[in-house]
Chains A and B, each alone.
Chain A
Amino acid sequence: MDAPPSDELAVRFPGRATARDAAGPSRSGALDAAGPLRPGARDAAGPLDPGARVDVEGLLDGMAGAGSLGVGDERVRDFLGAFGRRLLRPELARRHPELASLGFFLRPRELARTVEETRGGEHVRVPRGLVFHIPPANVDTVFVYSWALSALMGNRNVVRLSSRAGAVAALLVDTLLETLDEADREVAEAVAATQRIVSYGRSDAVTAALSAACDLRVVWGGDRTVDEVRRHPLAPHARDLAFPDRSSFALVLASAWLAASPGTREALADGFAADAYWFDQAACSSPRTVFWVGAPAECDTARDDFTTCLARAVARRGWTVDAAMAVEKRVATYGLAADGAARAIGFHGNAVADVVLTAPELAPRRWLGTGTFAHARIASPAELAGLVRRADQTMTYFGFARAELAELAATLAGRGVDRMVPIGEALSFHRVWDGVDLPAEFTRLLTIR
């Protein structure tokens, strides 16, 4: 996926469909009318071109004349629903379980519920306008969640797909193009006119132009990305929605773990492994530290049993790490020991490493390599109040009732933690993410009295 230089971008969606038109007649000929490409650029793009090329002004011009969508637009819902169904096809879902999650997220009922929640009250929600999305390079599905919700809210969108994006991202774009091909003319026209997935190389000019043109800029990625993107000014009325570096942990009641049946522990270990290993433990919401709640002896026993169960779960799923990752984990864990943060380090094959921390205050937030779990003991959940940081995002848990969690939330009082979800649900994307109600952010409120 080579991206073009300077202020040119490759349009990956709906680029190919348009390029196909140039090569011959097609069902979606209507795209021509609203097509984003200048004739010259289109001629250059063959049917196998990874994306038709266009300069940033051409891209923006092409979208400026686009017809408008409404919040919860039927055409967009129709398109997203059809796209989601494709993702749920068994042969795809088997190979890429994360696509199945995305497919579930896009079920018509889910979409309807999201739209429903934006309605009612004394205000009317209207789209923000043009939304510029910068998703992370390496979690391939994030761009779809971000884009789909924004499109559902009736926005025009430009998604910057990393030129380093992986195979799953390419598969998603292909699936979007197929969906567009199969869509009714009316739906295809509306979507093709208002939605763009593009990629471009290192270019300040393009980022600056898209930043200046958009009404909302959504940056998923690390602190550095957010800082870099923020160098480019937005229009005075526009705003940023930033999702910077976050990290996550698990909270387990040791006595509950020990009392759980073998079947329950096995299921928990499976869920925990999925939370951790799907994105190489590098996703913001993947647990890095497990805080055990209880007396020292029971926490030690529970932790050891947990690690045994986890190693089995990882082996069952066939998750492995390569030699480079194994070395990475040694560097990270030996480093923790050198710093005095690790009392004991254990390796269970290359896939699972556990680190017993010398104190819960020393819980590492940074990524330590896939399948590296720090463990610490605390006497009660309330101790977390002194331990959490603003960057802590997801707390997966086992052994606590909702009332206890609500109490803990009150104790934490916003110092950190945006999500408390059962072990196994760390990666389940929700329209409320990082403490942000995305559909609300993707709209404005219009007052009618």
Chain B
Amino acid sequence: MSVFRLTADEREAALLPRLAELTEWHRRACPPYQRILEAIGAAGPYERVADLPWLPVRLFKTHELRSVPEEQVFRVLTSSGTTGQAPSRVYLDREAAAAQPRMLAATLRAVLGERRLPMLIVDSRAVTRATALSARGAGVLGMMNFGRDHTFVLDERGGLDRRAVEAFLARHGHAPFLVFGFTFMVWLHLPALRADLSQGVLIHSGGWKKLADQAVDNAAFRRRLGAECGLSRIHDFYGMVEQIGTVFLEGPEGDGLYCPDFADVVIRDPETWREAPPGVPGVIEVVSTLPTSYPGHVLLTEDLGVVHGVDDGVWPGKRFSVLGRLPRAETRGCSDTAGEVAA
């Protein structure tokens, strides 16, 4: 059953009680979270999802926040922090660890179908083997669960492996197959292949910063991949380790990211912090019912976004875009010659 079924109103009605319940559950189970709610004076009843108290996502880098006892922690996920920054730590118990790939699969099924497809990976196998697994490596490994007969577009040294791609297309090119890669890797390597990928379903993620620097936007990206690779089924997705298992998936028309039924976004005005109306950019808050073992169900990201429309696209609910990252706060002050004096 599709997880892209609920209209905005239905979603609000379904999510509000569940998220409010999670808020109270985490309040009881996670003392640091309880102290935060206490200090900011957050208390129910909440009338709308947008009224729920949110945590800044970076708090998972600075604090250990979990709602299960240490002995029930089954997996600890870490994000690759930017240099000099601690990584996020996300604590999953057995149940949460099982739920997240299941819900991710349900989300991707909307564009991949029921069956596991042959998979072309726009990367090198080397990234999955690094001793310290990069975010890219972890992302590739995670997505590999959704495909079979994995074939890497790049060889171990990062060069195009045309022979492997040709062999893959000879075997699978006549029927739907999955293509996965990070957005900038896809842009960098797929057009150079000059291969017919018209049966492919491209799933990509990782953000637009590098492409924006080259003035490449989503429309240009889709146009070029369509023209040069025959790709017409292209789906960007947006997600983060702090809400593992929840991804916001680009619709078939390329008209924005859609929210699965168990999640939603609230775009907040960065001055008043109230919800911004469609068309007005703001800071993206992501909500999801998946985080049960850590208080990550209502998170303020450091990304800017805008809602384009509500219940007006191929799938119901909000359709939105990520516009980029909030710049890091600039610190002035005395204690800041470090790193450039000697080094």
Where the two chains meet, the residues of A that have a C-beta atom closer than 8 Å to any C-beta of B are: 134-139, 142, 160, 162-164, 166, 201-202, 204, 207, 219-225, 228-229, 231-232, 243-246, 279-284, 322-328, 330-331, 333-340, 342-345, 349-350, 355, 367, 369-370
CB atoms of A225 and B36 under 8 A apart? no
Please give, as numbers and ranges, the residues of chain A lying within 8 Å of B130 by CB-CB distance.
none
Nearest chain A CB to B29's CB is how many angstroms away?
14
* A282-B332 contact given A323-B326, A340-B35, CB 8 Å threshold: yes
Please give, as numbers and ranges, the residues of chain B lying within 8 Å of A334 by CB-CB distance.
36, 39-40, 55-56, 59
Partner of B302, one of A134, A135, A327: A327
CB atoms of A324 and B342 under 8 A apart? no
Please give, as numbers and ranges, the residues of chain B lying within 8 Å of A207 by CB-CB distance.
341-342
Nearest chain A CB to B324's CB is how many angstroms away?
12
CB atoms of A338 and B333 under 8 A apart? no
CB atoms of B300 and A284 under 8 A apart? no
CB atoms of A284 and B334 under 8 A apart? yes
| Interface residues in B27-82 (C-beta closer than 8 Å to A) | 32-33, 35-36, 38-41, 55-56, 58-59, 62-63, 65
**A and B contact pairs by CB, cutoff 8 A, 6 listed:** A136-B336, A202-B340, A284-B335, A322-B270, A342-B39, A345-B40
Please give, as numbers and ranges, the residues of chain B lying within 8 Å of A202 by CB-CB distance.
340, 342-343
Please give, as numbers and ranges, the residues of chain A lying within 8 Å of B35 by CB-CB distance.
337-340, 342
Please give, as numbers and ranges, the residues of chain B lying within 8 Å of A164 by CB-CB distance.
340
CB atoms of A225 and B335 under 8 A apart? yes
Please give, as numbers and ranges, the residues of chain A lying within 8 Å of B300 by CB-CB distance.
327, 330
Q: Which has the most chain B C-beta neighbours within 10 Å: A164, A222, A279, A284?
A: A222
Identify the closest chain B residue to A326 (Cβ).
B270
Partner of B59, one of A224, A244, A331: A331
Q: Does B214 contact A (CB under 8 A)?
A: no
Given A201-B340, A330-B56, A337-B39, 4 more pairs with CB closer than 8 A? A135-B337, A339-B35, A343-B39, A344-B39
Identify the closest chain A residue to B282 (Cβ).
A323
CB atoms of A222 and B335 under 8 A apart? yes
> In the complex the two chains form, what is the Cα distance from A345 to B35 in whole Å?
11
Identify the closest chain A residue to B38 (Cβ).
A337
CB atoms of A337 and B335 under 8 A apart? no
* A136-B36 contact given A202-B340, A335-B63, CB 8 Å threshold: no
Please give, as numbers and ranges, the residues of chain B lying within 8 Å of A228 by CB-CB distance.
338, 341-343
Please give, as numbers and ranges, the residues of chain B lying within 8 Å of A324 by CB-CB distance.
302, 326-330
* A338-B340 contact given A324-B327, A328-B329, CB 8 Å threshold: no
CB atoms of A325 and B329 under 8 A apart? yes
> In the complex the two chains form, what is the Cα distance from A228 to B32 in whole Å?
36
Please give, as numbers and ranges, the residues of chain A lying within 8 Å of B56 by CB-CB distance.
327, 330-331, 334
CB atoms of A222 and B334 under 8 A apart? yes
Please give, as numbers and ranges, the residues of chain B lying within 8 Å of A331 by CB-CB distance.
56, 58-59, 62
> In the complex the two chains form, what is the Cα distance from A223 to B63 in whole Å?
24
Nearest chain A CB to B55's CB is how many angstroms away?
7
Q: Does B287 contact A (CB under 8 A)?
A: no
Nearest chain B CB to A203's CB is how many angstroms away?
8
CB atoms of A137 and B336 under 8 A apart? yes
Please give, as numbers and ranges, the residues of chain B lying within 8 Å of A337 by CB-CB distance.
32, 35-36, 38-40
List 4 tightest A-B contacts by C-beta distance, closest first. A282-B333, A222-B335, A323-B270, A338-B32
Partner of A138, one of B32, B327, B336: B336
CB atoms of B326 and A225 under 8 A apart? no
Partner of A338, one of B33, B58, B332: B33
* A327-B338 contact given A334-B36, A338-B63, CB 8 Å threshold: no
Please give, as numbers and ranges, the residues of chain B lying within 8 Å of A222 by CB-CB distance.
334-338
* A282-B338 contact given A334-B55, A335-B63, A369-B329, CB 8 Å threshold: no
> In the complex the two chains form, what is the Cα distance from A420 to B172 in whole Å?
77
Partner of B337, one of A221, A327, A338: A221
Please give, as numbers and ranges, the residues of chain A lying within 8 Å of B83 by CB-CB distance.
none
Please give, as numbers and ranges, the residues of chain B lying within 8 Å of A225 by CB-CB distance.
335-338, 341
CB atoms of A134 and B341 under 8 A apart? yes
Q: Does B283 contact A (CB under 8 A)?
A: yes
Q: Which has the most chain B C-beta neighbours within 10 Å: A204, A245, A279, A328?
A: A328
Nearest chain A CB to B298's CB is how many angstroms away?
13
Q: Does B131 contact A (CB under 8 A)?
A: no
CB atoms of B333 and A367 under 8 A apart? yes
> In the complex the two chains form, what is the Cα distance from A355 to B342 in whole Å?
37
CB atoms of A279 and B332 under 8 A apart? yes
Please give, as numbers and ranges, the residues of chain B lying within 8 Å of A281 by CB-CB distance.
333
CB atoms of B331 and A327 under 8 A apart? no
Please give, as numbers and ranges, the residues of chain A lying within 8 Å of B270 by CB-CB distance.
322-323, 326, 350
Please give, as numbers and ranges, the residues of chain B lying within 8 Å of A135 by CB-CB distance.
337
CB atoms of A231 and B342 under 8 A apart? yes
> In the complex the two chains form, what is the Cα distance from A162 to B341 in whole Å?
8
> In the complex the two chains form, what is the Cα distance from A135 to B58 in whole Å?
31
CB atoms of A160 and B333 under 8 A apart? no
Please give, as numbers and ranges, the residues of chain A lying within 8 Å of B213 by CB-CB distance.
none
Chain B 313-328: CB-based contact to A (< 8 A → 1; otherwise 0)? 0000000000000111
Partner of A142, one of B39, B271, B331, B334: B334
Identify the closest chain B residue to A366 (Cβ).
B335
Please give, as numbers and ranges, the residues of chain B lying within 8 Å of A342 by CB-CB distance.
35, 39
Please give, as numbers and ranges, the residues of chain A lying within 8 Å of B33 by CB-CB distance.
338
CB atoms of B36 and A162 under 8 A apart? no
Please give, as numbers and ranges, the residues of chain A lying within 8 Å of B55 by CB-CB distance.
334
Q: Which has the most chain B C-beta neighbours within 10 Å: A134, A166, A282?
A: A282
Please give, as numbers and ranges, the residues of chain A lying within 8 Å of B341 by CB-CB distance.
134, 160, 207, 221, 225, 228-229
Chain B 126-138: CB-based contact to A (< 8 A → 1; otherwise 0)? 0000000000000
Partner of A245, one of B58, B335, B339, B342: B335
CB atoms of A323 and B283 under 8 A apart? yes
Please give, as numbers and ranges, the residues of chain A lying within 8 Å of B333 by CB-CB distance.
136, 138-139, 279-284, 367
CB atoms of A327 and B39 under 8 A apart? no
Please give, as numbers and ranges, the residues of chain A lying within 8 Å of B302 by CB-CB distance.
324, 327
Please give, as numbers and ranges, the residues of chain A lying within 8 Å of B38 by CB-CB distance.
337, 343
CB atoms of A138 and B331 under 8 A apart? yes
Please give, as numbers and ranges, the residues of chain B lying within 8 Å of A326 by CB-CB distance.
270
Please give, as numbers and ranges, the residues of chain B lying within 8 Å of A163 by CB-CB distance.
340
Please give, as numbers and ranges, the residues of chain B lying within 8 Å of A166 by CB-CB distance.
332
Q: Which has the most chain A C-beta neighbours within 10 Å: B33, B334, B341?
A: B334
Please give, as numbers and ranges, the residues of chain B lying within 8 Å of A243 by CB-CB distance.
334
Please give, as numbers and ranges, the residues of chain B lying within 8 Å of A223 by CB-CB distance.
335
* A327-B334 contact given A204-B343, A338-B33, CB 8 Å threshold: no
> In the complex the two chains form, what is the Cα distance from A243 to B333 in whole Å?
13
CB atoms of A162 and B337 under 8 A apart? yes
Identify the closest chain B residue to A330 (Cβ).
B56
Nearest chain A CB to B27's CB is how many angstroms away?
13
CB atoms of B334 and A282 under 8 A apart? yes
CB atoms of A335 and B343 under 8 A apart? no
